[in-house]
Structure 1
Amino acid sequence: MKYVDEYAPADRSVPMLRMNMVSSLDGAAWVDGRAGGLGGPADQALMQVLRMFADVILVGAGTVRVEGYQGELIDEEHKRWRVENGLSELPRLEVVSRSRMPLPELLAQLAEEGVTQILCEGGPHLFGSLAALDKIDELCLTIGPLLIGPGPERITAGVPHTVRRMRFVHAIPDGEFLFLRYAR
Structure 2
Amino acid sequence: MLRVNMVSSLDGAAWLDGRSGPLGGPADQALMKTLRMFADVILVGAGTVRVEGYQGDLIDEPQKQWRLEHGLTEQPRLVVVSRSGPPLPELLAELGDLHILCEGGPHLFGSLAALDAIDDLCLTIGPVLVGPGAGRITAGNPHPVRRMNLVHAIPDGDLLFLRYARSA
Q: TM-score, normalised by structure 2?
A: 0.97
4+ runs deviating over 2 angstroms: none
Partner of 2:49: 64
Partner of 1:89: 74
1:45 corresponds to 2:27: no
Percent sequence identity over aligned pairs: 80
Q: Which runs of 5+ in 1 are unaligned?
A: 1-15
AA aligned to 2:163 is R
Counterpart pick for 1:106 among 80, 84, 91: 91
CA distance in 2, matches of 1:172, 1:116: 27
CA distance in 1, matches of 2:135, 2:27: 23
AA aligned to 1:151 is G
Match of 2:151, SS?
A: strand
Partner of 1:168: 150
Provide the alpha-carbon RMSD of the alignment: 0.7
Q: Which runs of 5+ in 2 are unaligned?
A: none
1:124 corresponds to 2:106: yes
AA aligned to 1:149 is G
CA deviations 1:52-102 (Å, max 9, x no partner) are: 000000000000000000000101121111111111110000000011111
Match of 1:183, SS?
A: strand
Partner of 1:5: none
Shift of residue 33, structure 1, vs aligned partner: 0.5
Counterpart pick for 2:139 among 146, 157, 171: 157
CA distance in 2, matches of 1:67, 1:93: 14
Partner of 2:122: 140
CA distance in 2, matches of 1:172, 1:73: 24
